Structure 1
């Protein structure tokens, strides 16, 4: 956790035991302009209604960078960062998919751009929720997937978290080629914590 805190530029982070995999609906460590906290991965857009005027309760796990600052579903949301040491992508036919582990070439951590909000559950309880932002794949990932998480350089954290929208928009681009390691991940223990 000390490595994660140093990477995020904060004195400390809440305890978060290492896991082989994180899935939507789970709590993930999230950096906001006000600090680090756990948030539920999956965002229910507040105030969004369907054609009949009923609230939309579908969960958004990823938000496309191309429409992030245009869609009304994302209006009023805040920006965040989700740290991780990599992610998995799956390729192949249904029921025969192959997992690929993607991690930084230098073995360090990655910072995924994200958006967040506090959803008000029935009864008024606040649930912090986050969705990661996706973009076109880098050259390293293109052969296995047509999208990838939007990764941020450490120098751009402050701009993403609290900079003007025009400056944050300039960060919506694929990660540079040659910086990610992509390998088969068939040996991962998916039953981990």
Structure 2
């Protein structure tokens, strides 16, 4: 599952990390919700970071629909909503870290931040779709999910497909069969997670304080891994 994300790396570092131009109006964001713009690199323009609406809208969906923020990688090729995009429209969804929530015995779920250590940003595997509407061209995107790895499993039963750095270009250029082989729990040992404040629950809260550890909870997941 990936229902909230962030991207706050400086523009210059994003440009160097993905060898791509950055939108002039790029600004760091710490709490990106569905239906909001997310930064992507598509197979159509691999040397440019674009901004697409988060929530893929297939051709038959109403342009006002929220769309699909996630797609199960195991079945995307078979689903009418995703089969065309799976065939020919892969993209990278750029992130500084994503969030998910763990049920607790009492009270609201505990949010956690997941990030890759020593990375200014990383790429989640996505699919994109383009629609012509009465208001103009609308580009939308979904994040592919897979089974959780050892870090995510104690928190949630799904996780985004996180691509190792050396597989990002392959994701954009390979055919569907090869891309399918990349849809697996993140294999690296640099993914970490820690609890954060429930302030992230409100998308209007978008500041660096969002990623600060929640000192009332145990930081890290070493006991689970």
Shorter chain as denominator, the TM-score bin is: 0.7 to 0.9
Once the two structures are TM-superposed, the CA of residue 162 in structure 1 deviates from its matched residue by 2.2
Confirm or deny: 8 A CA contact 1:45 1:57 kept in the other structure. Answer: no
Aligned partner of 2:16 in structure 1 is: 6
Confirm or deny: 8 A CA contact 2:40 2:52 kept in the other structure. Answer: yes
The answer to whether 1:40 aligns with 2:53 is yes
Q: Give the TM-score, by structure 1 length.
A: 0.86
Q: Residue 30 of structure 2 is aligned with which of 9, 15, 20?
A: 20
The answer to whether 1:83 aligns with 2:98 is no
Alpha-carbon distance change, 154 to 65 in structure 1, aligned in 2, over 3 angstroms: same
Aligned partner of 1:138 in structure 2 is: 149
Alpha-carbon distance change, 55 to 104 in structure 1, aligned in 2, over 3 angstroms: closer
Distance 2:66 2:19 in 1: 33
Once the two structures are TM-superposed, the CA of residue 165 in structure 1 deviates from its matched residue by 1.2
Once the two structures are TM-superposed, the CA of residue 109 in structure 1 deviates from its matched residue by 1.8
Once the two structures are TM-superposed, the CA of residue 97 in structure 1 deviates from its matched residue by 1.4
Spell out the pairing of 1:154-193 with structure 2 (5 A cutoff): 154-176=165-187, 178-186=189-197, 191-192=205-206
Distance 1:55 1:28 in 2: 18
Q: Which has the higher helix share?
A: 2
Any runs of at least 4 consecutive aligned residues in structure 1 with deviations exceeding 2 A, and if so which? 54-58, 105-108, 187-190
Q: Deviations over 1:127-166 (max 9, x none)?
A: 0100111111111111000011100122212221121111
Alpha-carbon distance change, 154 to 178 in structure 1, aligned in 2, over 3 angstroms: closer
Confirm or deny: 8 A CA contact 1:138 1:177 kept in the other structure. Answer: no
Once the two structures are TM-superposed, the CA of residue 114 in structure 1 deviates from its matched residue by 0.4
Once the two structures are TM-superposed, the CA of residue 80 in structure 1 deviates from its matched residue by 0.5
Confirm or deny: 8 A CA contact 1:62 1:131 kept in the other structure. Answer: yes
Aligned partner of 2:117 in structure 1 is: 105
Distance 1:23 1:164 in 2: 30
Confirm or deny: 8 A CA contact 1:20 1:188 kept in the other structure. Answer: no
Distance 1:64 1:187 in 2: 27
Structure 2 regions of 5+ residues with no counterpart? 1-10, 208-225
Aligned partner of 1:51 in structure 2 is: none
Q: Give the TM-score, by structure 2 length.
A: 0.75
Confirm or deny: 8 A CA contact 1:43 1:61 kept in the other structure. Answer: yes
The answer to whether 1:70 aligns with 2:115 is no
Distance 2:53 2:64 in 1: 18
Number of positions where the alignment pairs a residue of Structure 1 with one of Structure 2: 186
Confirm or deny: 8 A CA contact 2:57 2:63 kept in the other structure. Answer: no
